[in-house]
Amino acid sequence: MNATGHLPGEPEAAVPRVVLGVAGGIAAYKSCEVVRRLRDHGVVVDVVPTPSSLNFVGLATWQALSGRPVATDVWSDITEVPHVRLGQQADLIVVAPATADLLARAAQGRADDLLTNVLLTARCPVVMFPAMHTEMWQHAATTANVATLRSRGVVVKDPASGRLTGADIGAGRLPEPAEVVDIVLQLLEGGADAARKAAEHDLSGRRVVISAGGTREYLDPVRFLGNSSSGLMGVALAREAALRGAEVTLVAAHVETELPSGVVIERVSSTTDLRDAMVGLARDAEVVIMAAAPADFTPAQASDTKIKKNGDGGLDLDLVQTPDVLAGLAASKPDGQVLVGFAAETAPDREELIGLGRTKLAHKGCDLLVLNDVSGGKVFGLATTSVVVLGADGPLSAVTGSKSAAAAAIIDAAAQRLVPRTPRQG
- Residue 74, annotated ligand binder? no
Residue type, 7: L
261 in Cβ contact with 172 (< 8 Å): no
Q: Give the separation between CA 75 and CA 170, rounded to whole angstroms.
A: 39
The helix or strand, by DSSP H or E, that contains position 353, with its residue range, turns out to be helix 350-364
- Residue 46, annotated ligand binder? no
345 in Cβ contact with 372 (< 8 Å): yes
Q: Give the separation between CA 210 and CA 61, rounded to whole angstroms.
A: 40
394 CB neighbour count, 10 Å cutoff: 9
- Residue 367, annotated ligand binder? no
Q: Give the separation between CA 159 and CA 156, rounded to whole angstroms.
A: 9
- Residue 326, annotated ligand binder? yes
Q: Give the separation between CA 125 and CA 150, rounded to whole angstroms.
A: 11
Give rounded-to-5 percent helix, strand, coil for the chain: 35, 25, 40
- Residue 95, annotated ligand binder? no
If we measure between CA atoms, which residue out of 254, 250, 303, 245 comes closest to residue 278? 250
- Residue 296, annotated ligand binder? yes
- Residue 380, annotated ligand binder? no
Q: Give the separation between CA 339 and CA 290, rounded to whole angstroms.
A: 8
145 CB neighbour count, 10 Å cutoff: 21
Largest CA distance in the chain: 80
Q: Give the separation between CA 80 and CA 114, rounded to whole angstroms.
A: 13
Residues identified as active-site: 227
Please provide the distance, in angstroms rounded to a whole number, between the alpha carbons at the two ends of the chain: 60
- Residue 360, annotated ligand binder? yes
- Going by the annotation, the residues of the binding site for CTP are 296, 306, 323-326, 342, 360, 364
Query: Where is the binding site, in residues?
Result: 296, 306, 323-326, 342, 360, 364
